[in-house]
A and B are shown apart, each in its own frame.
Chain A
Amino acid sequence: MIETSPNVVLVLTIAALAAVGVYLLLERSLTRVLLGIILLSNAINLLFMVAGGVPGGAPIIGVSEEGEMSDPLPQAMVLTAIVITLGMTAFLLAMAYRSWQLNQHDEVQDDLEDRRVARRAAADQAAYTDSDADVTTTLDEDAAEVRDETDDDAQPVESAEGGDVR
């Protein structure tokens, strides 16, 4: 019968790569996100190796016996996936560089709704510092910096109605 139980070392490697990848994905900096994506994609590439079953000889007629060949299909799929990931990585690097050119940092910024919520929250409550956060700015400072691109007047923060929030 065909041996179907996967290689434990491979499975553990996949788990470790995926865990680290997901952790890095949750970071703010685009370079770290990029590293996370690379690790995660490698985890999935290894998953294909596991999906291919027990490794055997080269799948060429005449080189290996028919029953002892590796399954070549997952390897072909992994090659395709690696090439695609390469292209995406290059694009993300370019974006991180462009972001650095424009903003002097490559942090993934909040989306518009989040910033609106932050602006309203900042108008409502006193400034506080979050000791867990990686960012050193407070909510107020963030809100003051952000710009709502649908608002052509580019008014950074509506501090008038909320009074002095500091």
Chain B
Amino acid sequence: MNGVSFDDLTWMVPIPVILPLFGAGLALALWKRTRLQGVISVIVLSLVLATSIALLVAVDSGPLVLDVGGWAAPVGIDLVADRLSTLMLTVSSAVTLGVLIYSLAQGVADGAEDTPVAIFHPTYLVLAAGVSNAFLSGDLFNIYVGFEILLAASYVLLTLGGTGERIRAGTIYVVVSLISSMLFLAAIALVYAATGTVNLAQLGERLPEIDPAVQLILQLLLLLAFGIKAAIFPLSAWLPDSYPTAPAPVTAVFAGLLTKVGVYAIIRTQTLLFPDGRADRLLMWAALATMLVGILGAVAQNDVKRLISFTLVSHIGYMIFGISLSSELGLASAIFYVAHHITVQTTLFLVVGLMERRGGSTSLDRLGGLAKIAPLLAVMFFVPAMNLAGIPPLSGFLGKVGLFQAGIESGDALAMVLVVGGAVTALLTLYAIVKAWNKAFWQDAPDDVPDVRLPRGMVGAAAALVAVGLGITVVAGPMFDYTQRAAATLRDRDQYILAVLPDRERGQGQSADAADEEVGSSPDDEAEEEDG
């Protein structure tokens, strides 16, 4: 039936959500034994990574749909794993695992004085569960729940220790996030009022039928809510202020994942619910402003952590650029760029954490001579930094080329402006990064460089992520093919809708298993076969 095949792997779909939640409970119960907590976290996240990879391969032949509780789509809640969501899941779980190992090494080295580890591991696992839930959910309200899970965890992680600076930055972060959640919730209420459903597949069927003006309001409201989460200019001011104050591993995982969850939600809703692309113009302008304003902010900074926080905002612009083109190539490049950027940005924050440790500061005026003192660190900064700026042949270059090609192919004047803007942003990124490089690594070392050895685990974890970044470059060809197939699935909405609702407006809430095996049978037959 329409190329949708179901595999035995459907049972795996909820694992990335459930396992970290159980792990979090277990870790919380063992709050006195931090080493055991660490072991639990590593095992759980490794299993999640393995599951994600298995799903990534499995969904290449068609989306997997799990009806939670045995109630079929429009009545029950479903988890949907398709190419886009499993790709995001795989990259994000690889990154969370890497950051976890880094933070474990840091905790061991610091004697856990700086970060209260007892609460760190449970919260970290809850964050991972929330991210997975947001990626896998096939239901607008469930995406909201996923967002809230990951946000609640992020509030705790951002204010770990409750120092004055973290409370100040955390206040702004929490209030802004709450406002975005309110907007999202209001959007869900209005969507429900307009269509009578919050199931994404059913919304994909019903939304195009309602009044275009109402559609536009809903679209913009959702974009506004996700735009705050994804840090799109002018909704991005909270990010560079709040991220740099948190501990390095926390900042790294936030930078890699939280904004990308917002980008993911934009991709999902724009392609599935609003395929007309009426917000494309708006998104193009937003993308241009995000790229340029973000990178100009980075150029003005004199602190490495803040500098790369601004580049984070700026490079969100590339992804929005890809989405706004509403073409298969544009979307594929945007998805590729998200995967590339998650690894590179996380790696950079981890390496900056190491630089702070070795050089004793994050201020570019006080760092210096690191190239001589720590040559390995220099390499580990140089590679992802050049990757971020888009130096060939690294994956950042390939992603940008894809985007530019899609922009030029569209033949639109504004898209051409965006291509130029993107090129300028890439050059300014290079400028900002080279500035940081010159000052931190090449300038004369200050007199009071602390004599510390970098813990091996931290270096190892960061080096592993550098290697993952390089690995993306190596497998860029097959990966780009995969993202192109993912983009094709997204553009062909029927595949997603039919996977969730095999006979379209099924609406009876019959069991999933019956529907999966005997597609085409009438709802009455399924009802007889149903068994919890």
Query: A residues engaging B (CB < 8 A)?
Result: 25, 30, 33, 37, 40-41, 44, 47-48, 50-52, 73-74, 77, 80-81, 84, 87-88, 91-92, 95, 98-99, 102-103, 108-109, 111-113, 149-152
Query: B residues engaging A (CB < 8 A)?
Result: 141, 145, 148, 152, 155-156, 159, 162, 164-165, 167-172, 174-175, 178-179, 181-182, 185-186, 188-190, 192-193, 198, 237-238, 240-241, 244-245, 302-303, 305-306, 361-363, 366
Give the secondary structure class of B's interface. helix
Q: How far is the CB of B185 from chain A (nearest CB, A)?
A: 5
- Is A95 in contact with B189, judged by CB distance below 8 angstroms? no
- Is A47 in contact with B362, judged by CB distance below 8 angstroms? no
- A98 and B361 contact, Cβ closer than 8 Å, known pairs A44-B186, A150-B303: no
- A30 and B186 contact, Cβ closer than 8 Å, known pairs A50-B193, A103-B164, A111-B241: no
**Cβ contacts under 8 Å, B303 to chain A:** 150
Known: A77-B189, A99-B167, A111-B172. 12 other contacts (CB 8 A): A33-B175, A37-B182, A48-B189, A50-B189, A73-B192, A88-B152, A88-B181, A91-B156, A99-B168, A102-B164, A108-B175, A111-B241
**Cβ contacts under 8 Å, B240 to chain A:** 113
Residue of B nearest to A109 (CB): B168
Q: How far is the CB of A130 from chain B (nearest CB, A)?
A: 22
**Cβ contacts under 8 Å, A151 to chain B:** 363
Query: In the complex, what distance in Å separates the CA atom of A2 from the CA atom of B466?
Result: 59
Residue of B nearest to A148 (CB): B303
- Is A150 in contact with B302, judged by CB distance below 8 angstroms? yes
Residue of A nearest to B193 (CB): A51
- Is B188 in contact with A77, judged by CB distance below 8 angstroms? yes
- A95 and B141 contact, Cβ closer than 8 Å, known pairs A44-B189, A48-B189, A48-B192: no
- Is A74 in contact with B178, judged by CB distance below 8 angstroms? no
Contacts between chains A and B (CB distance < 8 A), count: 101
**Cβ contacts under 8 Å, B363 to chain A:** 150-152
- Is B190 in contact with A51, judged by CB distance below 8 angstroms? yes
**Cβ contacts under 8 Å, B170 to chain A:** 95
Residue of B nearest to A25 (CB): B179
- A98 and B190 contact, Cβ closer than 8 Å, known pairs A33-B175, A151-B363: no
**Cβ contacts under 8 Å, A51 to chain B:** 189-190, 192-193
Q: How far is the CB of B214 from chain A (nearest CB, A)?
A: 13
- Is A91 in contact with B362, judged by CB distance below 8 angstroms? no
- A77 and B141 contact, Cβ closer than 8 Å, known pairs A88-B152, A150-B303: yes
Q: How far is the CB of B313 from chain A (nearest CB, A)?
A: 12
Taking each of B156, B171, B245, B366, which has the highest tally of chain A beta carbons within 10 Å of its own beta carbon? B171
Query: In the complex, what distance in Å separates the CA atom of A87 from the CA atom of B240?
Result: 26
Query: In the complex, what distance in Å separates the CA atom of A48 from the CA atom of B141?
Result: 12
**Cβ contacts under 8 Å, A95 to chain B:** 159, 167, 170-171, 174
Query: In the complex, what distance in Å separates the CA atom of A4 from the CA atom of B169?
Result: 44
Query: In the complex, what distance in Å separates the CA atom of A8 from the CA atom of B171?
Result: 36
Residue of B nearest to A6 (CB): B193
**Cβ contacts under 8 Å, B181 to chain A:** 84, 88
Q: How far is the CB of B42 from chain A (nearest CB, A)?
A: 28
Residue of B nearest to A106 (CB): B171
Query: In the complex, what distance in Å separates the CA atom of A74 from the CA atom of B196?
Result: 10
- Is B174 in contact with A91, judged by CB distance below 8 angstroms? yes
Q: Report which of B155, B171, B237 forms a contact with A108, defined as CB distance below 8 A.
A: B171
Residue of B nearest to A30 (CB): B171
- Is B167 in contact with A87, judged by CB distance below 8 angstroms? no
Query: In the complex, what distance in Å separates the CA atom of A33 from the CA atom of B155?
Result: 17
Q: How far is the CB of B199 from chain A (nearest CB, A)?
A: 11
Residue of A nearest to B182 (CB): A40
Query: In the complex, what distance in Å separates the CA atom of A47 from the CA atom of B176?
Result: 21
Q: How far is the CB of A27 from chain B (nearest CB, A)?
A: 11
Q: Report which of B152, B162, B198, B237 forms a contact with A87, defined as CB distance below 8 A.
A: B152
- Is A99 in contact with B366, judged by CB distance below 8 angstroms? no
- Is A91 in contact with B155, judged by CB distance below 8 angstroms? yes
Query: In the complex, what distance in Å separates the CA atom of A109 from the CA atom of B164?
Result: 11
6 sampled A-B residue pairs with Cβ under 8 A: A47-B190, A88-B178, A91-B174, A92-B178, A99-B167, A149-B165
Query: In the complex, what distance in Å separates the CA atom of A152 from the CA atom of B361?
Result: 8
- A150 and B306 contact, Cβ closer than 8 Å, known pairs A108-B172, A109-B168, A113-B241: yes
- Is A80 in contact with B145, judged by CB distance below 8 angstroms? yes
**Cβ contacts under 8 Å, B182 to chain A:** 37, 40-41, 44
Query: In the complex, what distance in Å separates the CA atom of A102 from the CA atom of B164?
Result: 6
- A150 and B362 contact, Cβ closer than 8 Å, known pairs A88-B152, A98-B162: yes
- Is A80 in contact with B141, judged by CB distance below 8 angstroms? yes
The 6 closest A-B pairs by CB, nearest first: A51-B193, A111-B241, A150-B303, A47-B189, A51-B192, A48-B189
**Cβ contacts under 8 Å, B198 to chain A:** 73, 77
